[in-house]
Structures are given as structure tokens and as C-alpha cells.
């Protein structure tokens, strides 16, 4: 394996999370409930958090956002200052735009129809083109996130047009993967993209409606899960209750992000009727069927590999041992913004119980391998602890392609499976063997057919077209390019997407 292929100083082993959404309409303790809801969704983003609230009756919307964890951004005094029986909240990892306070969500603006706030999970693949058009017509942007595009589209009023028609027209102009929470002065609106790439669920508590990226947040506040928002559905919640309308865009297929089951969602969540923890166990069972190993012990890489390792152990009959102990006060390595901190986290995130593996043949089960650097470190740790053999098993297929729909995957050149064969990866990791779950096995474990999912990070089959240079800093780079190259760049890129 080429020496330059992977750096031992680059610990971004896992794909980076996207964002979490939570909203409440019609509850006296809406702000407190949203705070706890965001707490339950903290795993989806740890860069910033925010809440916008409203008491209705023409009173202005109130907003508080900050950098850091939910517990760092909010305290009792701040929560008491956010009044109202309705609000939307957001936790963020930056998949478009830099990690900066100006990009924290929900975003709030004043316009001809009053105040509007928006929180967004996902990516708009044509946001930079829409932004150019909006700026050319006089719109002034305050952030570098694609989410702000929605607000500007919603403020473009047409004479005699109803609010619902404006919303459907605006959503018809954006493309990509998204779950949205939009808050006006009289309602909260939940939206899921036409393919259903990003999840969004509806719950109820004491007569109030709740919207959340994951059902685990309902459990925390004792809300009852009602149903998932359907792909291409617009859910409008106001004093009259819940009203559902469809987008104008035709539904071609579904494309739920399969990586929600593999890694992103909490194991105590239910997505599209499937328990995430049970799907992960079945992925482990299927992995044991496809890639068996002669071994003495199965060791999960916590926490995301725990359920797959349990399934592997059940299917193979090899006992499971929790040999890696996670330091829960570190947080996910890839969510820290500086390289220095991330390097430190890789060294202290997991510690090994030597007695659990010494002199044994070990199967180490992880949910994914992206660059391979931390996986290699784990194999080295096992060898140093006296493991006789180390067999690496991965409960998903090899990642060969970046994601452009709201997951901050590395580029293709940085993905170890895109550049190297399993045999080369095995040699780089220093393992005795390596085995990945097949694509078919992964789908089988979910209980759904392959055409239910987006699996572009494995297959390269992207359900929504995108620009070749699309990445999280595309808006900053595009603005610089336009200054030097002129407006022909806009027209060229528009033609690419037609």
C-alpha cells in the first residue's frame, strides 16, 4: 500500500454526523420539551445548538443559538427567557458552511409576511445556483449555509399567492436531501424531501404535536410516536391541528439513507417501523454468516459496533467480550473542529482490557471503516495486549464514494476502500483477515428491499444529480470564483443540472 495513501495522524475514521431537528406546537412547556428533545438528539451534531420560540398572538419570535453542546448553550435563565407554546430547535454539524456562530440554526428573518425561522438537516445540491440567482435579484445573505436559501425563497412574494402555495413553489425549486422545520407566526411546518433521504417523525404529548429527527426524543419526554413524515410530505401544524399536503414534485422512488441504520441513528430509535438496534444485530448475524472466523472472542468497537457484535456472537456462537472501554466524556472524535483535539481524542477515546484478549483469537467488529487510521490503531492495541490473532469484521459494505446529501464523508481519494483491495486494507490494518457485510446482506438485515434506500456511499448510484465539485465549502469557493470568472460560471453550472 502506498505510503501516501493514508496518514497515521488523520483520525477521522467515522463519517461525520449531520443535524438534528426538534419542534413542538401547542404545549405550555414547549421550550423545556425542545431543550430535552435536542439533548436526546445531541449525537447528530455537537458544533452548535439553537431554539426559536413563539407565544403567538402577534408577539415576536425569540431566538437563542450558541456554539457547543445543548447543555453549554442553554441554562435556566436562557430557557425562561424563551417564552411560548411553540418552538423549533436544532443541533448542528456543519455539512455546508463553516463551523461559526453566524451559521448556527435555526435561522430567523423578518419579511413581508412576518417572521420566519428554519432548521435544516441535509444538503441542497443546487443551493449555490439558487443563491446566485437570489443575490442577483437583490437578496442579501447573512450566512454561508444552504439552509438560508429556503428562507429567501419563502420571502419572494407573488401578488395574491397564498402562504401554502408559496411554500410548495419554494420547495419545488430546491433539490437534494432534507428534513426541514419551518416556523411562522402562526404555525410550525415539517417537510421531508421527495425521496425521504433524511428522517422526520411526528409525535404527540398532552394534545401538542411534536416533530423530531428520531423517535428516541419522544421516549425522553414521554411523547407518543404517531408516524413518520412521508417522503415529499409537508406537515402544517397550527391551532386547527395537523394538515398534510404533498409537494408538487413527482415521487420517483424512495431513498432513505441506509447509513441511519448502520451508524447515525441512536440504537433506541425506530426508523420506518424498524428498530435500529435490532437491524444492527441482524447486520451482525448476517456478517457472521457471510464472513465467519475461527476465534475465541468477539470484541465490539463501542459504542456503534456493540449491537452488530452481539449479532455476530449470537450467530457464530463465539462469546462476546467488552474489551474496549470507552471514555464517554470525550465525545465523537470527528465532531471536534480542530485537528489537534481530534488527535488527542483518538488516543484517549478507547482503552483496552488486556486480560480479555491476551492469548486469544479475536474478532473485532466495527460498523464501518472510512480512512482506516483508527481501525489500524485498534489492531495494534490488540496485538500489544497479546491477542494471538485479530480478525476485523465490518457490519456494512466498503465505503467507496463520498456523500453529497448531508453527511460529511471524506473525498473519494481519502476513502481507503475506494483506493485499495480488501487484501491491501488487511495488510495496512495489520489484521489476520478482514470481512465486510455485503450490500445484499445489509439490505436484507433492514427487512426492506434495496430500492427503499440511498446507498450511494457504497455504490456510487446517486439518486439526485449534483455538481462534481460540491462540498461543504462550495458557497465560499463559488463566491470567490464568480468574482474572477464572471456570470458565465452560473450558466454553465445551471446547464449541468438540467
Q: What is the pLDDT of residues 336-358, one digit of tens each?
A: 445 555 445 555 788 899 999 99
Residue 407's pLDDT band (cuts 50, 70, 90): confident
Q: Which domains does the chain have, with CATH numbers?
A: 19-252 (3.60.20.10), 278-445 (3.40.50.2020)
Residue 446: pLDDT over 90? yes
Q: What is the mean pLDDT of the chain?
A: 87
* Pairing label, strands 176-183, 361-366: unpaired
Percent of the chain with pLDDT over 70: 84
> What is the predicted pLDDT for the residue at 158?
73
Does residue 470 have a pLDDT over 80? no
User: Where are any strands of DSSP class E within 5-73?
Assistant: 19-25, 48-54, 62-67
Cis peptide before 416 (omega within 30 of 0): no
Residue, of 254 and 406, whose pLDDT is higher = 254
Question: Please, which pLDDT band fits residue 176 given cuts at 50, 70 and 90?
Answer: very high
Q: Which three cell numbers stand for residue 297?
A: 472472542
User: Whole-angstrom Cα distance, residue 442 to residue 257?
Assistant: 12
What mean pLDDT do residues 82-87 have? 95
Q: Which whole number is the average pLDDT over 136-157?
A: 85
pLDDT of 142 strictly over 70:
yes
Coil/strand/helix, residue 282: helix
Residue environment code for 245-277, b if the CB has 16+ CB neighbours within 10 A, otherwise e = eebebeeeebbbbbbbbbbbbbbebbbbebbbb
| Most confident listed range (89-103, 119-133, 399-413, 446-460) | 446-460
The H or E element containing residue 414 is: none
Among 231-245, 318-332, 353-367, 384-398, the range scoring the smallest mean pLDDT is 318-332
Alpha-carbon distance 390 to 74, whole Å?
Answer: 45
**What is the model's pLDDT at position 294?**
97
Going by C-alpha positions, the residue among 472, 480, 490 that lies closest to residue 147 is: 472
Report residue 14's pLDDT band, with 50, 70 and 90 as the boundaries.
low
Give the model's pLDDT for residue 61.
96
Q: What is the per-residue pLDDT for 10?
A: 41
The mean pLDDT of 96-118, rounded to a whole number, is: 83
- Secondary structure letter of residue 366 according to DSSP: E
pLDDT at site 183: 96
pLDDT for the residue 344: 56
Provide the whole-model pTM: 0.87
What pLDDT sits at residue 113? 75
The string over 72-94, giving b where at least 16 C-beta atoms fall within 10 Å of a residue's C-beta and e elsewhere, is ebbeeeebeebebbbbbbbbbbb
- List the catalytic residues: 19
In degrees and rounded to multiples of 5, residue 290 shows phi and psi of: -80, -35
Could you count the other beta carbons within 10 Å of the beta carbon of residue 478? 21
Q: How far apart are CA 414 and CA 98, in angstroms?
A: 20
Query: How far, in Å, CA of 389 to CA of 436, rounded?
Result: 18
Residue 276 pLDDT > 90: yes
Residues 6+ apart with CB under 8 A from 453: 254, 255, 256, 257, 258, 443, 446
Residue 462 has pLDDT above 80, yes or no: yes
What pLDDT does 273 receive?
96
Tell me the pLDDT band of 143, cut-offs 50, 70 and 90: confident
Residue-wise pLDDT for 197-252, tens only, equals: 999 999 999 999 999 999 999 999 999 999 999 999 999 999 999 999 999 877 77
- Decide the pairing of beta strands 433-436 and 389-394: parallel
State the pairing for strand pair 453-454/256-257. parallel
* pLDDT score of 340: 53
Residues 284 and 307: beta-carbon distance below 8 Å: yes
Amino acid at each position: 500500500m502506498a505510503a501516501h495513501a493514508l496518514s497515521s495522524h488523520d483520525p477521522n475514521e467515522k463519517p461525520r454526523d449531520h443535524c438534528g431537528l426538534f419542534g413542538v406546537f401547542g404545549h405550555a412547556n414547549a421550550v423545556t420539551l425542545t431543550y430535552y428533545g435536542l439533548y436526546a438528539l445531541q449525537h447528530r451534531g455537537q458544533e452548535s445548538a439553537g431554539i426559536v420560540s413563539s407565544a403567538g398572538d402577534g408577539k415576536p419570535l425569540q431566538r437563542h443559538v450558541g456554539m457547543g453542546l445543548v447543555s453549554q448553550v442553554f441554562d435556566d435563565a436562557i430557557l425562561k427567557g424563551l417564552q411560548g407554546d411553540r418552538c423549533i430547535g436544532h443541533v448542528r454539524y456543519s455539512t455546508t458552511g463553516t463551523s461559526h456562530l453566524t451559521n448556527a440554526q435555526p435561522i430567523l428573518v423578518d419579511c413581508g409576511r412576518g417572521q420566519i425561522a428554519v432548521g435544516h438537516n441535509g444538503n441542497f445540491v443546487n443551493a449555490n445556483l439558487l443563491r446566485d440567482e437570489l443575490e442577483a435579484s437583490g437578496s442579501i445573505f447573512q450566512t454561508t449555509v444552504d439552509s438560508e436559501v429556503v428562507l429567501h425563497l419563502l420571502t419572494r412574494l407573488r401578488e395574491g399567492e397564498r402562504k401554502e402555495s408559496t411554500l410548495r413553489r419554494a420547495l419545488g425549486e430546491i433539490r437534494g436531501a432534507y428534513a426541514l422545520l419551518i416556523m411562522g407566526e402562526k404555525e410550525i411546518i415539517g417537510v421531508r424531501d421527495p425521496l425521504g433521504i433524511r428522517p422526520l417523525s411526528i409525535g404527540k404529548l398532552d394534545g401538542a404535536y411534536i416533530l423530531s429527527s428520531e423517535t428516541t426524543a419522544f421516549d425522553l419526554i414521554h411523547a407518543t410516536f404517531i408516524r413518520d413524515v412521508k417522503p415529499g410530505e409537508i406537515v402544517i401544524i397550527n391551532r386547527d391541528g395537523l394538515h398534510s399536503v404533498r409537494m408538487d414534485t413527482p415521487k420517483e422512488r424512495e431513498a432513505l439513507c441506509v447509513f441511519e441504520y448502520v451508524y447515525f441513528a441512536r440504537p433506541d430509535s425506530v426508523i420506518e417501523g424498524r428498530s435500529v438496534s435490532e437491524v444492527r444485530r441482524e447486520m451482525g448475524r448476517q456478517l457472521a454468516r457471510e464472513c465467519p472466523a475461527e476465534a475465541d472472542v468477539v470484541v465490539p468497537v463501542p459504542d456503534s459496533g456493540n449491537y452488530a457484535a452481539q449479532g455476530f456472537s449470537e450467530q457464530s456462537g463465539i462469546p462476546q467480550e467488552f474489551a474496549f472501554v470507552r471514555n464517554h466524556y470525550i465525545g465523537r472524535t470527528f465532531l471536534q473542529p480542530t485537528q489537534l483535539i481530534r488527535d488527542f481524542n483518538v488516543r484517549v477515546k478507547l482503552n483496552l482490557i488486556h486480560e480479555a484478549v491476551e492469548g486469544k483469537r479475536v474478532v473485532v467488529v466495527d460498523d464501518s471503516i472510512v480512512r482506516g487510521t483508527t481501525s489500524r490503531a485498534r489492531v495494534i492495541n490488540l496485538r500489544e495486549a497479546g491477542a494471538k490473532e485479530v480478525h476485523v469484521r465490518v457490519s456494512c459494505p466498503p465505503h467507496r464514494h463520498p456523500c453529497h446529501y448531508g453527511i460529511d464523508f471524506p473525498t473519494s481519494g481519502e476513502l481507503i476502500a475506494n483506493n485499495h483491495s480488501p487484501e491491501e486494507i488487511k495488510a495496512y490494518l495489520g489484521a489476520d483477515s478482514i470481512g465486510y457485510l455485503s450490500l445484499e446482506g445489509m439490505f436484507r438485515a433492514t427487512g426492506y428491499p434495496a430500492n427503499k434506500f440511498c446507498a450511494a456511499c457504497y455504490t456510487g448510484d446517486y439518486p439526485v444529480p449534483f455538481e462534481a465539485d460540491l462540498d461543504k465549502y462550495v458557497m465560499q469557493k463559488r463566491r470567490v470564483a464568480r468574482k474572477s470568472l464572471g456570470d458565465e460560471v452560473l450558466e454553465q453550472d445551471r446547464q449541468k443540472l438540467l
